[in-house]
Structure 1
Amino acid sequence: MNFINKKLSQILFPFVAIILILLPYINEQVAKMASGLAVISGILLSLIFGNPYPEKTKFIASELLTWSIIGLGFGMNLITVAKVGFSGIGYTVIGILLTALIGLYIGKILNNKKDISILITFGTAICGGSAIAALSPTIKADSNSISVSLAIVFLLNASALFIFPALGHIFNLSQEQFGLWSALSIHDTSSVVGASMQYGEKALEVGTTVKLARALWIVPVTLIVGFLLANKLSNSNSSVKAKKPWFILGFLAAAAIATWVPWAKAPGLFIKHISENALILTLFCIGANLSKEALKNVGIKPFIQGIVLWLIMASVTLICIYFSIINV
C-alpha cells in the first residue's frame, strides 16, 4: 500500500501543480481562487499521500518566492512604494512593539518555552517564517522550537488565504484597505500576496508594498532582540541559517526600472504576469511542505499563543483600518 501511495503521489504532485498553474487562464473568478486552491491542494496531497519531493518543494518554495516577489516589482511604481513605506513608519513601530508586548505576555502566562514564545511573537510582528529563520540563530533556538514555530505560522497563513478575502467582502473593505490589512495582519509575504491577489490588483500592489516595507524591520529587530535576549536563552546550536532579505532590494530595483525606464514598462508587465503565476506554484509547494510529523510537533500551548496573538492583532488592525485610524 505504501508503495502504491508513493507511486501515486509521484504522479499526482506534478500533475496537480500543472493544473493549478493553468487555472488563471480559465477565467477571472477561477484566477482569484487559484492561490487558495494551491495551498489547500499541497496540504491535502502531503497529508494523505506524503510529499515525494520534499527537498524540491522546499527549494522551489524558497527560491521561487524570492524571484516572484522581485518580478512583482516590475508592476509597481517606486514613488508609490516610497510613499507607503514612509507613511507607515509610525504604525509599523507601534504595531511591532504592541505585538511583542502582548505576544511575550501570552507566552509567559502559558509558560511556553522562551525561544518558542519569542519566535512566534516576532514571526507575528514582522514577517512570519522569514523573521523566525532570521531570529533563530540569534537567540540560539533549538530545531524543535523552530519547527513548532514555523508550523504554527504556516497553519495560520494557510487559514488567512481563505478567511481574509471573505472578511474583506463582509466588511466591504476597499482594495487599498484590504491590502493594508493583509500586510499588517498576515504573517508571511507569500500569503499576503495570495490573499490580496484574490481581492484585486490594487490590493495586491498595496499589500506587497506594505509587507515588504515591514519586512525591512527584520534586520534591526533581530539585532535588538539578539542583544537583549540571546544570553538568557538556550546555548543549543540552531540548524537554521539566517536569511538575508535581499529580495527587498531586488523588488525596489525592479520598481525603479518600471517607474523611470519608459521602454521597460511593457516587458515589465509581462514579467509581473509570469511572477503572479509562479506564486501559485510557490503556494502549492508551501502547502506540500507541511508534514504529519510537523503537525504532531505543534503543542497545544504554543498554538494557543500563536492563534490568540494573531486574532488580537488582526482584529485591532481591522478596527483601526475600518475607522480610518490607519490609512495607506
Structure 2
Amino acid sequence: MIVLAHRPSHRRTLVKATGLAAAASLGLAAAVAGTLVPVIGGPVFAVVAGVLLSPLARRRSAALLPGLNLAKGLILQLSVVFLGAQLSLNEVLSASAASLPVMLGTLGVCLLLAWLVGRRLGVPPDLRTLIGVGTGICGASAIAATTPAIRAKSNDVTYAISTIFLFNLAAVLVFPPLGHALQMNAHAFGLFAGTAINDTSSVVAAAGAHGQEAVEYAVVVKLARTLMIIPIVLVLITLTRRRTDFRDTPKVRLAASLVPWFLVAFLAVAALNTGGLIPAAAQAALHRMALLFIAVALAAVGLSTDVPALRRTGARPLLLGLILWAAVTLTSLGLQYLLTD
C-alpha cells in the first residue's frame, strides 16, 4: 500500500524531470555559446534554439510541459535572485547625480511610448509591456523578472527577447561611431551607453570604443538601471492582481502577494554583496549561475512557443521595438545636452 501511494508522486517527479532536463540541456549549451559570442549572449541562443526545436517539443507536450513550466517559473525567479550578487548598492549610489535624470527620463519616455504607440499599433498588452521594460531597463533580465509578474505567454516572451536583441545589436554597431561624431567624452559616452543599451556585455562592447573610463561608468549606470526592475515589477503585479476580486482575502496575505519573494530575495542578496558578505569567488559563481538559469528558463520559453501563432503576430511589435529604441537613444542624448548646457 505504501508503494502504491508513492507511485503517483514518483510519476509526477519523473514527468517534471523530463521537461526540466530538456530545458537544462538546451540552456547549458546556449550559455556556453553565449560565452563564446557575448554580443549575442546565452538568452538569445536559448530562445532561438528552443523555437527551432519547439515543433518536436509540442509533439511530446504532455511529457515535457510540467518540467518546462517549472523552468519558466521557479528557475526564472531564481535567476533574478542571483542577479543581485552582481549589484553593489554603494557603487550604484556613487554614480554621478547627472545619471539619475537621464536614466529616469529614458525609462519614463520608453514606458509611456510602449503604452501609447503599442496601443496605436495594436500590439497585445503583455507583449508591449515586455518590449517596453526590456528596452527601458535591462533587456533579458527585465523581461525575466516581468514575465511571472504579468503571467506572460511564451510567444510574447520569445518575440520580446528577439526584438530587444535585434536593436541591442544595432546599438553596439551604431553608438560608437555616433559618439565619436558627436565628440562625446568618456564620461558622457559611458552615460549614453549605460542608459540606452540593455545587455551588460553589449554595454561593455560599445563603451570599450571610448576607453576603460567609459566602460566603468557605463557599467555602474547599467547596474543602477537594473534596480528599476523592482518598482516596475511591483506596479505591474499590482495592476495584474487588480483584475482579481480580493474582498475575501486578508490584508496581510494580500500585501504579501503583491511583493513577490524573488524581488525581496534579490534585494537581500544585493545588500549582502554591498556589505562585503559575498566573497568575490561566490559573487562570480552566482552571476554565472544567474546567466545559466536565465538561459534554461528561456530555452523552456522557446520550446513552449507556438511558432504559427508567432508568425500571425506580424511585424508590428518589431516596429514598436524600433520606435522605442530610437526614442531611448534620442532621449538619452537630448537630456545629456540639456543638463550639460
TM-score (norm 2): 0.61
Residues 1:62 and 2:73 are matched in the alignment:
yes
Q: 1:151, 1:295 within 8 Å by CA — same for their partners in 2?
A: yes
Q: Is the alpha carbon distance of 1:94 and 1:108 closer, same or farther for their aligned partners in structure 2, counting shifts above 3 Å?
A: same
Residues 1:210 and 2:225 are matched in the alignment:
yes
Partner of 2:273: 258
Return the offset for 1:64.
2.2
Q: Is the alpha carbon distance of 1:132 and 1:91 closer, same or farther for their aligned partners in structure 2, counting shifts above 3 Å?
A: farther
Return the offset for 1:93.
6.0
Percent identity at matched positions? 15
Return the offset for 1:210.
0.8
Q: Distance in 2 between matches of 1:265 and 1:118?
A: 41
Q: Deviations over 1:86-131 (max 9, x none)?
A: 9776556655664565455446655x4xxx7544444444455755
The partner residue of 1:43 within 51, 54, 67 is 51
Partner of 2:185: none
Q: Distance in 1 between matches of 2:241 and 2:25?
A: 44
Return the offset for 1:152.
4.1
Partner of 2:136: none
Partner of 2:92: 81
Q: Distance in 1 between matches of 2:59 and 2:219?
A: 30
Return the offset for 1:316.
1.5
Q: Distance in 2 between matches of 1:71 and 1:205?
A: 18
Q: Distance in 2 between matches of 1:122 and 1:219?
A: 14
Q: Is the alpha carbon distance of 1:164 and 1:89 closer, same or farther for their aligned partners in structure 2, counting shifts above 3 Å?
A: same
Partner of 1:315: 326
The partner residue of 1:20 within 30, 51, 57 is 30
Task: Give ranges in structure 2 of 5+ residues lacking alignment.
Answer: 1-18, 134-141, 180-188, 209-214, 245-256
- Trace 1:278-317 onto structure 2 (pairs within 5 A): 278-292=293-307, 294-295=309-310, 298-300=312-314, 304=316, 306-317=317-328
Match of 1:325, SS state, is helix
Q: Distance in 2 between matches of 1:41 and 1:273?
A: 20
Q: Deviations over 1:45-77 (max 9, x none)?
A: 114664742332232133223222322322321
Partner of 1:161: 165
Q: Distance in 2 between matches of 1:89 and 1:246?
A: 27
Q: 2:99, 2:221 within 8 Å by CA — same for their partners in 1?
A: no
Q: Distance in 2 between matches of 1:103 and 1:263?
A: 37
Return the offset for 1:277.
3.2
Select between 88-97 and 275-284 the one with higher mean Cα deviation: 88-97
The partner residue of 2:287 within 252, 260, 272 is 272
Partner of 1:236: none
Q: Is the alpha carbon distance of 1:80 and 1:247 closer, same or farther for their aligned partners in structure 2, counting shifts above 3 Å?
A: farther
Partner of 1:239: none
Q: Distance in 2 between matches of 1:316 and 1:162?
A: 16
TM-score (norm 1): 0.62
Q: Distance in 1 between matches of 2:96 and 2:78?
A: 21
Q: Is the alpha carbon distance of 1:49 and 1:154 closer, same or farther for their aligned partners in structure 2, counting shifts above 3 Å?
A: closer
Q: Distance in 1 between matches of 2:20 and 2:233?
A: 37
Q: 1:103, 1:121 within 8 Å by CA — same for their partners in 2?
A: yes
Return the offset for 1:315.
0.4
